[in-house]
Chains A and B, each alone.
Chain A
Amino acid sequence: MAENQPVDDAGQANFDAVIAKDSRIEPKDWMPADYRHALVRQMSQHAHSEIIGMQPEANWITRAPSLKRKAILMAKVQDEAGHGLYLYSATETLGTTRDEMTEALLAGKARYSSIFNYPTVSWADMGAIGWMVDGAAITNQVPLCRASYGPYARAMVRICKEESFHQRQGFEILLELSHGTPGQKAMAQDAVNRWYAPSLMMFGPPDADSPNTSKSMAWNIKRFGNDELRSRFVGMLAEQVKVLELELPDPDIRFNEDTKSWDYGPLDWAEFKEVLAGRGPCNAQRMERRRAAHDDGAWVREAAAAYAAKQSASNDREAA
């Protein structure tokens, strides 16, 4: 990464003009070191979240209660691997390799969305994750389809198209449960209770405490503040939960006619910070699983690389 890049007045002028026109920055353009750094941070964190986010749902693939649900869940978790890949690829255009990003993740230097540090303890969690966690993710991601960095925006277009089924399948799981036996309905309500607050916290801390938000918005990476998106999301949940005939565990949700936005009860940011700091229920487990997959796969990656080198050497010999 060009940390100590020389001052480039023409480059800066071009960058400013592109941002002012709301056009797109492309990989080989000159860009301020801070912009590159902010992108690598946000995009790699996003990619890591997709990859770590596979684990809580993969936890239920082998126990899915019907073959149709098993297929859907498998396809969804597999999509998340794909989305992680799209995002790693887009980040690589900024000069940081996937290998470096993986290393940063495994060393605990890079973050991923805190929500994946919560355990999936029942089947209904597959529904709540799809409806609420993916719902929050989509609310966050749709504006990113217009992010000022071209490869990021393009990756997000692809991801948003694919994710549209993720939220629906989650909603339908909850719908089936809430209209099923009393035991199933209780399972659904319990999952909604547990995932509600963490999903609201996915939008990040309040704008007043979010040091990166204003800069990201000035650069057209983010288009809306954390609080605005969170409020918009609460509004969607409040309507959709009626169809589910379930309740959100927050008596303070109401539409505020003055601000024309949705109000909600206070969130426990102390808990958020605890989980972020590594003291959540599953932080160590998630990292260990990722590390194990990476370490156990090393000999496979080495083998394929060695085979490719041998083949290419023998092709060279034949050509000579």
Chain B
Amino acid sequence: MIPTGSHHSQARDGSLAGVGPSTGSHHRNPTPYSLGDSSASATRITPGNALRPEDIALAAAEGTAHPREAVAEYALRLGDDALILAQRLGHWISRGPELEEDVALGNIALDQLGHARSFLTYAGAAWGKSEDDLAYYRREPEFRSAHLFEQPNGDFAVTIARQFIAASYQYLLYRELTRSSDPMLAAIAGKAVKEVDYHLDHSTQWVLRLAGGTEESNRRMIAGLELMWPFVGELFEDDPLIAEVGDAGVVPSSLKEEFDRATAAVLAEAGVEVPAHPMATGGGRHGRHSEHLGYLLAEMQVLAREYPGASW
């Protein structure tokens, strides 16, 4: 169903002629089996095999990936969440609290962007649109992201609080979505759940450290959680689309209990209370967004819209 594996024909670690380092032939050989210890290396690089947005676009072009309308609308929601979060996280690169964390947040942003591209490409297949058509040429009310993902980065604790909620939610969601009756959604979720598992671990580690570090970090972590928690509610709201999607999707409310239990366990270990604020009114799934999204879209879309129809 999904083509993988054979499309990496280009020499991945080659460089422009004559300027690449000579590193010995075994470095260039992505042989998947052991060649004995003489080939042990810490720099052997391979692209790996996984479902890529390009594979989905190809399947869409060939007509083998064609979601029904409701499934496409559903994929759009998941794709927009990931896209907006990736856009937010991308801003951290070169601004992290330590260089190692720049790299970590960069990896998470890239994972989210990958999920966004997959979901948007698949959604677009229903309407003859590309991922870029959807990302760059929709207006604000046409986006389907939840308010949580739109929230500004704030300080590192605010970003970690947003990450902790987002990853906790996405982990449960994607885990269930791997059983989707829609094979493409199941395949995208199969890749995404493993990556989000790490995002959850990353944010959990930081919740523990910030909450249990210094007085200042504890204060900031609590403030971050207080700021972000009201946006939890929207993530678990059901609506008529969910019923239409049926067993191709996941019923959001069905994840709430486990979300509450899992997040409460981490926060208990961190010694902080689960914020008790009332939940904010959402609306993102229906195009009613936070005040922040417009600015984010203006920045994200500006160049593409200056050159409509251009190729990059």
Q: Which A residues fall within an 8 A CB radius of B?
A: 51, 54-55, 58, 61-71, 74-75, 77-78, 81-82, 84-85, 88, 123, 135, 138-139, 142, 145, 156-158, 160-164, 167-168, 171, 173, 176-177, 180-181, 183-184, 236, 240, 289, 292-293, 296-307, 310
25 A-B contacts (beta carbon < 8 Å): A62-B90, A62-B91, A62-B299, A65-B310, A66-B312, A67-B120, A68-B53, A74-B90, A75-B110, A81-B94, A123-B312, A142-B20, A157-B23, A161-B43, A164-B14, A173-B312, A176-B311, A236-B19, A240-B16, A296-B156, A297-B97, A300-B98, A300-B156, A302-B213, A303-B217
Encode contact with A along B55-94: 1 for CB under 8 Å, 0 otherwise.
0000000000000000000000000000100110011011
A142 to B95, CA, bound (A): 29
Encode contact with A along B126-147: 1 for CB under 8 Å, 0 otherwise.
0000011001100000000000
**Contact among B23, B83, B101, B216 with A299 in the assembled complex (CB-CB below 8 Å):** B216
Encode contact with A along B89-118: 1 for CB under 8 Å, 0 otherwise.
011011111111111001101100110110
Interface size on B, residues (CB 8 A): 63
A240 to B16, CA, bound (A): 10
- Chain A residues near B90 (CB, 8 Å)? 61-62, 70, 74
Assess the A164–B15 pair: CB atoms within 8 A. Answer: yes
A244 to B242, CA, bound (A): 49
- Chain A residues near B300 (CB, 8 Å)? 62-63
A1 to B238, CA, bound (A): 64
Q: Does B255 contact A (CB under 8 A)?
A: no
- Chain A residues near B100 (CB, 8 Å)? 85
A180 to B303, CA, bound (A): 14
- Chain B residues near A63 (CB, 8 Å)? 299-300, 302-303
Assess the A303–B14 pair: CB atoms within 8 A. Answer: no
Closest 3 CB pairs of A and B: A303-B213, A297-B97, A303-B217
Assess the B97–A164 pair: CB atoms within 8 A. Answer: no
Q: Does B214 contact A (CB under 8 A)?
A: yes
Instruction: Output the least CB separation between A161 and chain B (Å).
Output: 6
A181 to B97, CA, bound (A): 41
Within 8 A of A (CB), among B13-28: 13-16, 18-23, 27
Closest to B303 in A: A65
Assess the A293–B94 pair: CB atoms within 8 A. Answer: yes
Assess the B94–A55 pair: CB atoms within 8 A. Answer: yes
Instruction: Output the least CB separation between B12 and chain A (Å).
Output: 8
Assess the B310–A184 pair: CB atoms within 8 A. Answer: yes
Given contacts A54-B94, A67-B117, A293-B95, contact A300 B217 (CB under 8 A): yes
Q: Does B212 contact A (CB under 8 A)?
A: yes
**Contact among B43, B213, B307 with A183 in the assembled complex (CB-CB below 8 Å):** B307
Assess the A168–B106 pair: CB atoms within 8 A. Answer: no
Given contacts A81-B102, A142-B20, A157-B43, contact A289 B94 (CB under 8 A): yes
A84 to B106, CA, bound (A): 15
Closest to A308 in B: B209
Given contacts A67-B132, A299-B216, contact A78 B106 (CB under 8 A): yes
A310 to B38, CA, bound (A): 42
Q: Which B residues fall within an 8 A CB radius of A?
A: 13-16, 18-23, 27, 43, 45, 53, 83, 86-87, 90-91, 93-103, 106-107, 109-110, 113-114, 116-117, 120, 131-132, 135-136, 155-156, 208-210, 212-214, 216-217, 220, 299-300, 302-304, 307, 310-312
- Chain A residues near B107 (CB, 8 Å)? 78
A70 to B106, CA, bound (A): 12
Assess the B214–A66 pair: CB atoms within 8 A. Answer: no
Q: How many A-B residue pairs have CB under 8 A?
A: 186
Q: Per DSSP, are chain B's interface residues mostly helix, strand or loop, or mixed?
A: helix
Instruction: Output the least CB separation between B137 and chain A (Å).
Output: 12
Instruction: Output the least CB separation between A285 and chain B (Å).
Output: 12
Interface centre among B83, B106, B132, B135 (most CB of A within 10 A): B106
Closest to A179 in B: B311
Assess the A307–B155 pair: CB atoms within 8 A. Answer: no
Assess the B312–A65 pair: CB atoms within 8 A. Answer: yes
Assess the B45–A304 pair: CB atoms within 8 A. Answer: no
Instruction: Output the least CB separation between B295 and chain A (Å).
Output: 11
A183 to B308, CA, bound (A): 12
Assess the B19–A77 pair: CB atoms within 8 A. Answer: no
- Chain B residues near A167 (CB, 8 Å)? 15-16, 19
Interface centre among B15, B27, B155 (most CB of A within 10 A): B15
Assess the B19–A58 pair: CB atoms within 8 A. Answer: no
Instruction: Output the least CB separation between A84 and chain B (Å).
Output: 6
Closest to B24 in A: A157
A310 to B214, CA, bound (A): 10
- Chain A residues near B113 (CB, 8 Å)? 67, 70-71, 74
Closest to A61 in B: B90
Closest to A82 in B: B103
- Chain A residues near B91 (CB, 8 Å)? 61-62
Assess the B99–A85 pair: CB atoms within 8 A. Answer: yes
Assess the A299–B43 pair: CB atoms within 8 A. Answer: no
Assess the B93–A74 pair: CB atoms within 8 A. Answer: yes
**Contact among B23, B97, B304 with A296 in the assembled complex (CB-CB below 8 Å):** B97
Assess the A157–B21 pair: CB atoms within 8 A. Answer: yes
Closest to A59 in B: B94
Assess the A161–B45 pair: CB atoms within 8 A. Answer: yes
Given contacts A300-B156, A302-B214, contact A293 B93 (CB under 8 A): no
Given contacts A54-B93, A63-B302, A77-B94, contact A168 B21 (CB under 8 A): no
Given contacts A65-B310, A81-B99, contact A307 B208 (CB under 8 A): yes
- Chain B residues near A164 (CB, 8 Å)? 13-16, 20
